């Protein structure tokens, strides 16, 4: 009887894993295309523009390139860097560049971003084989669910996850999650499933949009939404990243990306809101103004700075309860900042009044 029970338990577990794999789709076509594309180069063939353009025309690559704003000049320089890295006849050029890169990777930034895929090809391919397993997905979901209320802890089988063999970033968009293998590989060394958990958080948090947004409110609503969106997701893996900052390869270190001038950004945002309040909304900043203010970080800075202050001052539960409400995020930040021993900047009473007015205006009409 025990053997029979064990047999059926194993079958049930395998079926559950099988369903889980089918439900979550990992796409490696673009990554596999990269590995295939570089093989002829190792034998001395050049990388034709036609082959390169076909590679870039793969949907995940197109999504990533568009998101990053890469122009034709950048992509052409990237193509040439691939040739320098992989073609044996460019060995002397590569040797000199690597010597410079070892001192300062920024000296040949594009060469560096390609070279790491060559130097760590074996390790990256071994890591690729582990991504997408039931265990890996379970770990990623666990990371995500740790920063969501129970009502939002729902697995989403329709999320498409794409892996790339170029560059070093990760993005979440309408078409799915796009992660570069180099970024994911290094992030997982510190916290398995942390980066994927972060990107899935953007989906599973289910952020709202707003109907009939007035032109003068577009900028401030952008700011409120992005600092919550990235700030809350950053709580998943950024503390680990910051704690191990010196162990992370160049270009992936987060500390200098998340924290510089975060306090001054909050101060400027406060002044902007005060001006809106004083003018009855006639004086306002545009979305572009706020993109510049957050240094084109999509809200990571000052989002993480603000979320960290909220959590370390005892408002974790309130943050999770209001994880979809950007108006409450600002108000929670202010409550936490008043208690914080480091005396971070506050939003004034006038600014908070204006935020509460916006909440009444838009939150009931969320969609």
Segment 37-56 shows an average pLDDT of 98
Segment 70-75 shows an average pLDDT of 97
Q: pLDDT higher for 157 or 54?
A: 54
The 3-class secondary structure across the chain, one letter per residue, is: CHHHHHHHHHHHHHHHHHHHHHHCEEECHHHHHHHHHHHHHHCCCCCCHHHHHHHHCCHHHHHHHHHHCCCHHHHHHHHHHHHHHHCHHHHHHHHHHHHHHHHCHHHHHHHHHHHHHHHCHHHHHHHHCCCCCHHHHHHHHHHHHCCCCHHHCCCCCCCEEEEECCCCCEEEECCEEEEEHHHHHHHHHHCCCHHHHHHHHHHHCCCCCECCCCHHHHHHHHHHHHHHHHHHHHHHHHHHHHHCHHHCCCCCCCHHHHCCCHHHHHHHHHHHHHHHHHHCCCCCCCHHHHHHHCCCCCCHHHHHHHHHHHHHCCCHHHHHHCCCCHHHHHHHHHHHHHHCCCCCCCCCHHHHHHHHHHHHHHHHHEC
Dist CA 82 CA 73 (whole Å): 14
Residue 148: cis peptide before it, omega within 30 degrees of 0: no
User: How many Å separate Cα 191 from the centre of its chain?
Assistant: 15
**Per-residue model confidence as pLDDT tens digits over 325-354:** 999 999 999 999 999 999 999 999 999 999
> Is the distance from CB of 114 to CB of 79 less than 8 angstroms?
no
pLDDT value for 252? 86
**Per-residue model confidence as pLDDT tens digits over 102-148:** 999 999 999 999 999 999 999 999 999 999 899 999 999 999 999 99
pLDDT above 80 for 303: yes
Please report which confidence band the pLDDT of residue 358 belongs to, taking 50, 70 and 90 as the band edges.
very high
Beta-carbon neighbour count of residue 274 at 10 Å?
A: 17
Per the prediction, the chain carries an average pLDDT of 92
Entry pTM: 0.90
pLDDT above 60 for 20: no
Please report which confidence band the pLDDT of residue 301 belongs to, taking 50, 70 and 90 as the band edges.
very high
Please report which confidence band the pLDDT of residue 173 belongs to, taking 50, 70 and 90 as the band edges.
confident
pLDDT value for 24? 66
Segment 163-179 shows an average pLDDT of 92
> Is the distance from CB of 261 to CB of 115 less than 8 angstroms?
no
Dist CA 258 CA 227 (whole Å): 11
Dist CA 251 CA 116 (whole Å): 11
pLDDT value for 18? 39
């Amino acid at each position: 009887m025990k053997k029979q029970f064990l047999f059926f338990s194993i079958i049930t577990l395998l079926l559950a894993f099988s369903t889980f794999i089918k439900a979550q789709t990992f796409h490696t076509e673009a990554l596999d295309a990269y590995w295939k594309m570089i093989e002829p180069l190792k034998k001395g063939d050049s990388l034709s523009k036609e082959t390169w353009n076909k590679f870039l025309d793969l949907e995940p690559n197109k999504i990533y390139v568009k998101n990053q704003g890469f122009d034709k000049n950048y992509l052409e320089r990237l193509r040439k860097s691939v040739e320098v890295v992989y073609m044996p006849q460019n060995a002397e050029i590569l040797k000199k560049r690597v010597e410079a890169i070892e001192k300062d990777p920024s000296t040949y930034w594009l060469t560096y971003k390609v070279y790491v895929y060559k130097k760590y090809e074996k390790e990256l391919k071994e890591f690729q084989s582990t991504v997408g397993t039931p265990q890996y997905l379970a770990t990623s979901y666990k990371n995500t669910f740790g920063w969501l209320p129970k009502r939002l802890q729902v697995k989403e089988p329709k999320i498409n996850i794409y892996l790339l063999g170029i560059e070093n970033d990760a993005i979440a968009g309408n078409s799915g999650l796009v992660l570069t293998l180099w970024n994911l590989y290094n992030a997982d060394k510190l916290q398995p499933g942390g980066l994927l958990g972060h990107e899935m958080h953007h989906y599973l948090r289910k952020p709202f949009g707003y109907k009939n947004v007035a032109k003068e409110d577009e900028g401030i609503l952008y700011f409120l939404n992005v600092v919550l969106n990235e700030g809350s997701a950053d709580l998943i893996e950024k503390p680990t990243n910051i704690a191990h900052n010196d162990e992370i390869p160049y270009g992936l270190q987060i500390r200098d990306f998340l924290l510089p001038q975060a306090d001054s950004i909050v101060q400027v945002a406060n002044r902007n809101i005060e001006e809106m309040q004083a003018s009855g909304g006639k004086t306002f900043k545009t979305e572009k103004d706020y993109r510049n203010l957050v240094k084109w970080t999509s809200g990571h800075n000052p989002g993480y700075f603000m979320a960290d202050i909220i959590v370390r001052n005892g408002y974790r539960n309130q943050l999770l309860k209001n994880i979809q409400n950007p108006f409450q995020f600002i108000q929670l930040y202010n409550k936490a900042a008043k208690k914080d021993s480091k005396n971070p900047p506050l939003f004034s009473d006038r600014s908070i009044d204006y935020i509460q007015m916006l909440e009444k205006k838009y939150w009931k009409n969320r969609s």
